[in-house]
């Protein structure tokens, strides 16, 4: 059976399509995920995809119900293109999330009506909604800090990369056992975390512009954060601000401002995670009673955590 997708909002936010992990070499990123997570690299079948309009290479792979788009600008990076500019500024790290939306034209018009700057593929500003738009990027400054690729949900009519997504195939239940039986014991993606300066202001933007659904507010002393969890389609998004002015959370906010920070997998056993990760060259630490965090330096700049829980009222549990 294919994955059951939950949706929110008037425009039909559904599957969190992918997270982009940006570095300088797509095959190297893919090889790392295969070594650490036994990733299933499923698109394209004949090597990295080349985009002329974005001047970059990319591929798609699955780790449980998370899709990772490995991406690299053509070398040397050309700062006339958005992907290259991001890489030159931030280096290897998470770049953005991607969401499938049923009514992409309606959502784009909704954002334009609220004076949101929308970037077109390859750069340039959307002044009016094109009738055949496939994806676009709202300006993070205008929509709460999160960089998101909004993609048309058409079950593959626009792209084989959507139509062949393993999560949407009838044998998904069988495929998913690959990761629950892996030494990491991954059950699913738990949540994505944004580090933000002002939770109340950011949450208000997400509820207004994204029509995100409030789930839970709380404090995690172990991780040193105050959190607000929201549902955006089939994604649990944590907005997190630091409890003190020092530590990794505060450092991330100071360096990057409001930005995607971390992805957390739900797992069966944290002891198993702590035992396995060093065996594949990834240092890790128990950052709270329920969370193990991998060292981003050992993950090509990506920030991953593993937990046995998410938050009270998790709509995806």
In this prediction, the residues of the chain whose per-residue pLDDT falls under 70 are 155-161, 249-250, 254
User: In sequence order, what are the residues at sequence separation of 6 or more whose Cβ sits closer than 8 angstroms to the Cβ of residue 272?
Assistant: 183, 184, 185
Count of CB atoms situated within 10 Å of the CB of 118: 21
Q: Write down the pLDDT at residue 242.
A: 83
pTM to 2 decimals? 0.94
Q: Write down the pLDDT at residue 123.
A: 77
Q: Write down the pLDDT at residue 132.
A: 83
Q: Write down the pLDDT at residue 162.
A: 72
CB 33 within 8 A of CB 63: yes
């Amino acid at each position: 059976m294919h994955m059951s997708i939950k949706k929110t909002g008037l425009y039909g936010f559904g599957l969190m399509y992918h997270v982009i992990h940006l570095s300088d070499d797509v095959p190297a990123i893919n090889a790392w995920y295969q070594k650490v997570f036994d990733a299933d690299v499923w698109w394209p079948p004949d090597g990295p995809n080349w985009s002329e309009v974005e001047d970059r290479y990319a591929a798609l792979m699955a780790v449980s119900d998370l899709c990772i788009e490995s991406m690299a600008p053509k070398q040397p990076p050309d700062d006339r293109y958005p992907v290259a500019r991001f890489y030159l500024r931030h280096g290897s790290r998470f770049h953005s999330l991607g969401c499938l939306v049923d009514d992409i034209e309606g959502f784009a018009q909704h954002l334009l009506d609220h004076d949101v700057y929308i970037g077109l593929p390859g750069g340039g500003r959307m002044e009016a909604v094109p009738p055949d738009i496939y994806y676009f990027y709202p300006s993070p400054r205008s929509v709460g800090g999160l960089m998101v690729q909004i993609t048309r949900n058409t079950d593959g009519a626009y792209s084989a990369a959507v139509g062949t997504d393993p999560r949407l195939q009838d044998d998904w239940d069988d495929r998913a056992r690959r990761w629950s039986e892996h030494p990491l014991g991954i059950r699913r993606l738990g949540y994505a975390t944004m580090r933000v300066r002002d939770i109340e202001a950011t949450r208000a933007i997400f509820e207004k512009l994204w029509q995100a659904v409030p789930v839970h507010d709380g404090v995690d002393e172990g991780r040193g954060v105050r959190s607000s969890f929201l549902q955006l389609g089939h994604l649990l998004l944590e907005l997190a601000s630091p409890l003190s002015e020092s530590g990794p959370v505060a450092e991330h906010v100071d360096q990057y401002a409001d930005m995607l920070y971390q992805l957390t997998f739900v797992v069966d056993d944290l002891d198993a995670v702590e035992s396995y990760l060093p065996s594949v060259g990834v240092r890790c630490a128990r950052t709270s009673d329920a969370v193990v965090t991998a060292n981003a330096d050992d993950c090509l700049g990506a920030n991953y955590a593993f937990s046995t829980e998410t938050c009270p009222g998790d709509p995806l549990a």
